[in-house]
C-alpha cells in the first residue's frame, strides 16, 4: 500500500496528542523526586546532599537497565503497525525478563554503599546518610524497571493517558507518605532520609500494580501475562541487542552527571546541595524534551514499519521544533527568576541560605545554556531509537561525554579555577558535541530506511 504524505500540521497534532500525556506523566514522575528534594531540603541540608549523591548513583544504575525497556517501544510500535499481536506480547515479555534479571544482579551493591562513597571522596556524614537511603531504595530497582517496561509497552500502543493518571496518583501518594515519615507527622515516626526512601519504594510498587491492571483490562487482545514464564530465545536476544546500547548510552550520560556530583562534592557540601537543586530544576524542564523524544520514537518506529521515509523526516522536523520552542522558554525562565526558583528548595531559616543562593544562581545561568543542547541530543536519540539505530549513537555519546565533556569539566573547575560554573560549562561542551553528532547520524540514516 502506498504511503500518504501527512502535512506538518498533521504531524504536530499527532505528536502533541501522543507527547503531551507523556510529558505530563514524566513531570508527575519527576515530582516524586522533586518532592523528596524539597522536603529533605526543609528537613536538613546534610540529608539533601546525601540524597543528591544517593539518587544519582541509583539513577545511573537504573537507567542502564532501562535500556531494555526503551527497546520495547520501537519494537512494539513496529509490531503493532503490522498487526502482529503475538509479537507485541513476545517483545514485552522479554523486556520484563531482562528487567528482572538486571534488577537482581545490580541491587546488591547498594547495600554496602558507604565505603564506596567514602572511596569517592565524600564526607563521612554524607556517605553514612546516603547508605541509609540506598539500603531501602535498593529494593525499588526491579519494580522501577518493570514500570519503565510497562510504560514503554503502553506508549508504543499509544495508550499514554493512563500513564499520566497513574503517575499523578502515585506522586500525590509519595508527597503524603513523605510528609508523614520524613518529619514524623500524623503520629508517624520521624525517619528523615529513610522516610523518603520508604515512600519512593511504596509508590513504585503501586505503579506496577496499576499499569498491569490497566494493560490486562483495556488491552485484552495482547494478553500481556500469557506465558509470562515461557522463554523466547529469539526475541530475548533481539531485545537485548537493541537495548544494551541504549542502556550504555544512558550510562554515558548519567555517569557524566554522577561524576559531576562527585566532583562537586570535592568542593564542598554547600556546593553539592546547590548542584542538587540546579539539577532538579533542569531535570524537571527536561521532562518536556523527554516526552517529545518518546513520542518521536513511537512515530519513527511506525514510519520504519511502513518504510515511510517522507513522513519519518517530516515528523522528526516537527518534534525537534516543538522541543526547541520549549527550550527557549526555559532559557528565559532560568535567567529571569533564578532566586525565586531556588528558594523553593531552601528552608527560610537555613543558616547557609545566602551561600546556597549565590552558588545556585550561577549554576542556573549555565543550566539555561545546558537546556538547549541537552534538548537537541535527546531528540536525536529518540529518533534514532525509533529507527532501531542504537550502537553507533552509543559510541558517539561515550566519546562526547567522557572523552570531551568530563575532562573539560575537570579542567575548567579545578585547573582554571572556575569553580561550580566551570563544572557545568564542561557538561554543556560534551552535550553540544553529542547533539551535533547524533543529529547528523539521524538525518543521514533517515534516507536509508
- Please compute the mean of the pLDDT values over residues 376-405 and round it to a whole number: 93
Nearest partner of 260 among 416, 430, 27, 129, judged by Cα: 430
- Convert the pLDDT of each residue in 47-63 to its tens digit: 888 887 788 788 778 88
Question: Residue 210 — very low, low, confident or very high, per pLDDT cuts 50/70/90?
Answer: very high
Domain assignment of residue 419, yes or no: yes
Whether 372 has a pLDDT exceeding 60, the answer reads yes
Question: Residue 94 — very low, low, confident or very high, per pLDDT cuts 50/70/90?
Answer: very high
Least confident of 73-77, 120-124, 384-388: 120-124
Mean pLDDT of the chain: 87
CA distance 296 to 22: 11
Whether 238 has a pLDDT exceeding 90, the answer reads yes
Domain assignment of residue 181, yes or no: yes
CA distance 290 to 137: 24
Least confident of 108-122, 161-175, 424-438: 108-122
Whether 447 has a pLDDT exceeding 60, the answer reads no
Which sign, positive or negative, has the C-alpha torsion 305, 308, 311, 313? positive
Pick 308 or 378 by higher pLDDT: 378
CA distance 69 to 17: 22
CA distance 195 to 318: 43
Torsion of CA 56, 173, 228, 148, to 10 degrees: -40
Nearest partner of 62 among 257, 211, 222, judged by Cα: 257
Domain assignment of residue 402, yes or no: yes
Domain assignment of residue 394, yes or no: yes
447 secondary structure, DSSP code: G
Q: How many CB atoms lie within 10 A of CB 268?
A: 15
Which pLDDT score, from 0 to 100, does residue 183 have?
92
Which pLDDT score, from 0 to 100, does residue 76 have?
93
Which pLDDT score, from 0 to 100, does residue 205 have?
92
Question: Residue 32 — very low, low, confident or very high, per pLDDT cuts 50/70/90?
Answer: confident
Which pLDDT score, from 0 to 100, does residue 448 have?
61
Determine the angle formed by the axes of helices 141-156 and 269-306, rounding to 10 degrees: 40
Domain assignment of residue 1, yes or no: no
- Convert the pLDDT of each residue in 269-299 to its tens digit: 888 888 888 887 888 888 899 999 999 999 9
Domain assignment of residue 32, yes or no: yes
Whether 38 has a pLDDT exceeding 90, the answer reads no
- Give the domain range for residue 330: 8-448
**178, 199 Cβ separation under 8 angstroms:** yes
**405, 367 Cβ separation under 8 angstroms:** no
- Convert the pLDDT of each residue in 134-172 to its tens digit: 888 889 899 999 999 999 999 999 898 898 898 889 889
Which pLDDT score, from 0 to 100, does residue 1 have?
46
> Of all residues in the chain, what percent carry a pLDDT higher than 90?
40
Total domains in the chain come to 1
Cell 549513537 belongs to: 393
Domain assignment of residue 273, yes or no: yes
Domain assignment of residue 2, yes or no: no
Whether 31 has a pLDDT exceeding 90, the answer reads no
Amino acid at each position: 500500500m502506498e504511503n500518504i504524505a501527512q502535512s506538518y500540521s498533521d504531524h504536530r497534532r499527532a505528536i502533541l496528542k501522543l507527547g503531551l500525556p507523556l510529558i505530563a506523566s514524566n513531570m508527575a514522575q519527576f515530582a516524586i523526586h522533586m518532592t523528596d528534594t524539597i522536603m529533605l531540603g526543609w528537613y536538613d541540608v546534610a540529608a539533601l546532599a546525601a540524597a543528591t549523591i544517593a539518587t544519582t548513583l541509583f539513577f545511573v544504575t537504573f537507567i542502564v537497565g532501562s535500556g531494555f525497556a526503551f527497546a520495547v517501544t520501537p519494537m512494539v510500535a513496529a509490531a503493532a503497525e503490522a498487526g502482529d499481536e503475538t509479537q507485541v506480547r513476545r517483545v514485552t515479555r522479554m523486556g520484563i525478563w531482562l528487567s528482572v534479571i538486571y534488577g537482581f544482579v545490580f541491587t546488591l551493591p547498594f547495600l554496602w554503599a558507604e565505603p564506596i562513597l567514602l572511596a569517592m571522596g565524600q564526607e563521612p556524614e554524607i556517605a553514612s546518610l546516603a547508605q541509609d537511603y540506598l539500603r531501602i531504595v535498593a529494593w525499588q530497582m526491579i519494580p522501577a524497571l518493570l514500570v519503565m517496561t510497562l510504560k514503554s509497552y503502553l506508549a508504543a500502543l499509544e495508550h499514554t493517558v493512563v500513564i499520566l493518571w497513574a503517575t499523578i496518583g502515585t506522586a500525590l501518594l509519595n508527597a503524603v507518605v513523605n510528609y508523614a515519615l520524613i518529619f514524623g507527622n500524623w503520629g508517624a515516626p520521624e525517619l528523615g532520609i529513610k522516610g523518603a526512601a520508604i515512600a519512593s519504594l511504596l509508590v513504585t510498587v503501586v505503579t506496577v500494580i496499576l499499569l498491569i491492571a490497566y494493560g490486562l483490562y483495556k488491552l485484552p487482545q495482547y494478553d500481556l501475562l500469557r506465558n509470562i514464564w515461557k522463554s523466547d530465545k529469539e526475541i530475548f536476544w533481539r531485545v537485548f541487542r537493541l537495548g544494551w546500547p541504549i542502556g550504555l548510552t544512558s550510562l554515558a550520560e548519567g555517569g557524566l552527571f554522577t561524576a559531576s556530583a562527585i566532583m562537586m562534592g570535592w568542593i564542598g557540601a554547600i556546593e553539592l546541595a546547590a548542584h542538587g537543586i540546579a539539577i532538579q530544576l533542569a531535570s524537571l524542564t527536561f521532562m518536556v524534551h523527554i516526552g517529545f523524544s518518546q513520542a518521536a520514537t513511537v512515530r519513527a518506529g511506525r514510519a520504519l514499519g511502513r518504510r515511510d521515509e517522507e513522513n519519518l523526516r517530516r515528523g522528526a522536523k516537527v518534534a525537534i521544533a516543538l522541543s526547541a520552542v520549549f527550550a527557549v522558554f526555559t532559557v528565559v525562565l532560568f535567567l529571569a527568576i533564578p532566586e525565586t526558583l531556588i528558594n523553593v528548595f531552601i528552608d527560610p531559616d537555613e543558616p547557609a541560605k545566602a551561600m546556597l543562593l549565590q552558588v545556585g544562581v550561577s549554576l542556573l545561568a549555565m543550566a539555561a545554556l545546558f537546556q538547549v543542547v541537552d534538548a537537541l541530543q535527546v531528540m536525536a536519540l529518540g529518533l534514532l531509537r525509533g529507527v532501531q539505530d542504537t550502537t553507533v549513537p552509543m559510541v558517539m555519546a561515550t566519546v562526547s561525554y567522557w572523552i570531551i565533556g568530563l575532562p573539560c569539566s575537570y579542567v575548567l573547575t579545578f585547573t582554571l579555577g572556575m569553580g561550580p560554573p566551570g563544572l557545568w560549562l564542561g557538561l554543556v561542551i560534551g552535550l553540544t558535541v553529542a547533539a551535533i553528532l547524533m543529529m547528523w547520524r539521524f538525518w543521514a540514516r533517515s534516507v536509508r530506511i
